Chains A and B, each alone.
Chain A
């Protein structure tokens, strides 16, 4: 009696899958949850390796520094050096004023923008690091300032927005 009442479609029956329609609809891209900006653990390296190293390139010329950063990134890729991150630091704008020769007033000369790109590499061996430095220096273009240093938390914090309210509260609490 109970068996006659069930309408389950078995896989062998031609009615299997009747009522399915989701396969006909276009594929929905899963909604990407916003990734929280968190500092990754800084690798200090061992005695024979350098850990996280930042290659910072600064210049007033945007295209030049961008292309140089791309060149350095491709170079690291070809030499199988692990590139952790390749990002841009916020642009700094400076107003340059100069004193007129016959007069005491400061005159606006130009508004300069300073752009900086950073490439973070990891796992540089102690013997290969000077070679990489030499190669990057030999292809350093005019007007681009190169700086190579180990990555610190302060470097990461300089990329984040300042939170004066939080700092105020923390100062009040302690």
Chain B
């Protein structure tokens, strides 16, 4: 044995390591493959050895060879061996190899389950990490099912390094094992607020990705994400969240409304282009989702467009590209805003970078107008000539067609020009889009009657030089245009100047080399042409000429009869027989033209592309019903042949069905026609809804003939459409002059004194550009009773459909994740071996060591229970959140200017934004809005709040300030849509027989530099029968606190109340106070004076009151992590003070809740009956508390950056605690 080991290590000396292998390969450039196969043989030998180091080395080399394209899956078993090595060094090599080559088809992968589980629970975090990383690359449904529970446990590991990996890999687990989503989700959600930013970021990443795929299930998380968005400083997290909101807003427009402000602020404030860009993108998404419902967000659009312009103008091509990309999104809904930047877009068309040009092309679609279409297309055509790659050229081609044909050819004023553009495009080599050009030619020729003559002349020219179009094999795609040309010349043959010449062109032998479907159209249209020529010749009394044509047909048609294409052959032989018959008649001098033409009498109208789809299923017709009941299967033994027979028969019967019903159908059709004829509301499809063109002024003045004369298009190979640019300009010039002249005359007649204005300016506007031809675009026909919608179904193969899972429904017992029972999980030593909350029934036996640990465990568990409770009605919660302004949902973070701006902006918007501040009375606080608190630090209390909130919701009307006899908060008249926040903090200020004053401090803003501002809301209720008017509020300012008065008034003046009060009516007024220092509580005396008027006359009355500004009201609940808290305490620049209150009966839990609630603190950490708490003032003072509960007493030690503030706060707290 020892000898073997020695031998092994000697062998090692001569093994190649990875570096040797690389070096060797580099030195064998000539015979690399041979060298490598030699190396693989060596590796195979190494893998056979027992020494794990040798094996690991071999596997490492294999991983390198895999990169070079060698399949290494044959070594899968050895890889697993290396994965299970005890040393991290080897394990890591094994997992790397596995992650590169294992996949769902690797059969030995099932052998890894136990090894991975062992590694996941390894005491070394790096063993666990390596296993997680590897697993993330090759997790299979089986592995996901078997390991889901282990991974979920790791999400609460003590090491953030493991937590973040575990959180991230859960996404993979969900995909492979969707059943795990619901049980794991509560913990995943919890990780959104993990103290470690990496873990938080991972959780955001996973949830955003889940939500992106199935947004509706995650709407209820919107408030949480909103909070993260307004508090996070990690740009990665912000970007993910903002992207997610972009996906959520289409589902919930109210959310968009809420988002606009904070996003706009971010756009203004951020310096990171990536973040700016994503904000702009989401604002666009919001605006799109709001575009119907919201009046006007032009400011936001302007901001976006303006920022995008900056991006596009940047020299960095990446920003340019993204700017254009985002611009195209705005274009869809707000084309006007984008059109203003046409110069920029056109400029980008000349960019050297193809991706930029492509993006600019996308934008062009919205940039064109009647005025500039010709010019833009000219530019594009010149690009077509210059373009090198076919991809870009094809893109140009489709774009030209797109922009010209958009909105029913809205921007085309001259269809001759358009036809020549299309003809020019046929000269493109190697394009794939011949059919597009063909479709356009057909569409225009059919729908624009006025252009047919011109189109036919162009098409016949095209047919004439068909050999050019269809010559080289490369040009295959473009020969599609011949299809259109042949059809147009045939169908509208009356416009042909030289029909015989065209006929000959269409019968050339070369035609037979065209694709079958084109030949078929040729054959069919040759007859139409033939019919036209016959008619012409007979009318001209030239029977010989007519016979000559017939002879030509008889001679040439056989070439088609021989075609291998069935369609061509069939048509050709039919027609040949017909022509031969005609020949016989002609020989007898019988006139035939009339009858032959009758074959093609009548006009073909365009049918809308979706017409077929939209034919409604007639009433009473069940397409799924059996026509003949299938005989039951049970009887026969030889099933297989019979089944086939059945199927065929069914199909057969189905096809025949319409025939059987033919008579009935005809009858019904007749009846329907009758009904329609009698129905005055039935609108028959009539041509030409494009009256607009005809109504335009000046159309009748356009000399159409003139232009026809100057058409130079007969010369093939010349860029004809260019001529139109000049022609068009001249035409418009003439038009303008004409109009000016007309106007002048008019004006001269009417009012000679008035100066001419805007003459030429006016004619520049888009509407003024009159079309060259009188255009009637025939609308496409739809079947009668067409159904309006045709939505496409979702892709049933979408893998994310499996994750479309309702996450708000409470967990059922059956949904527990499978736990491996045989492993001795209860002897866990390390903290990460926590049980999964949802599966745990009983707490473990307490061990002294674990006591602290269990405390930690307990909290999340309770939180989860709470969450389950909450999740019973997520919809309501969301509604509640959405119905309030950002203010209540934003965690107050005054140190961020952005957040402040949000608050300010929200108020400017005039929405009801109320944040209650406790006044000196404490009792009324029980029914306050719990939303404003950060939830995660106050686990137990949270629960209580939940109850309170649900109570609130049930009876919102009953909310009264607890100081009894006080008035109900009164709804503001301006608020019809948004319900009042269901809680109130109003307290009685003063009252007399006339009036009652109820007040609330509802908004506080402050900074160190500036004076702080407090807005106080006062509800005035008229309790008398008198009419109260001329109300005025005057306050005796203190040095520190001043009432903000209208400009120009002195300190002694009062502030008028902006309304009057009829008897029994109440209304709310707001007053702003500026406060210099917040370290002491303030009391202000004031008087409300008013005139009370009743039947007996009017009297001057007044009511004195006292406004109280507590120090607590300047605190803002701010979450704080324990490490930051510890650092703060260590810093030593805080002054300290303490209080102690005796005779406390309340539980510690509720006590903390009260402090949090009334004094705006958050719990940092809680151990047994001791808790550290934190809050922050609007001016940035840190306030730290250590609260300890004794037998019947509570002591509070406070540390604060301002001693006076701390003193005042503790005094106020004492008052609160004394009532507990």
Query: A and B bound?
Result: no
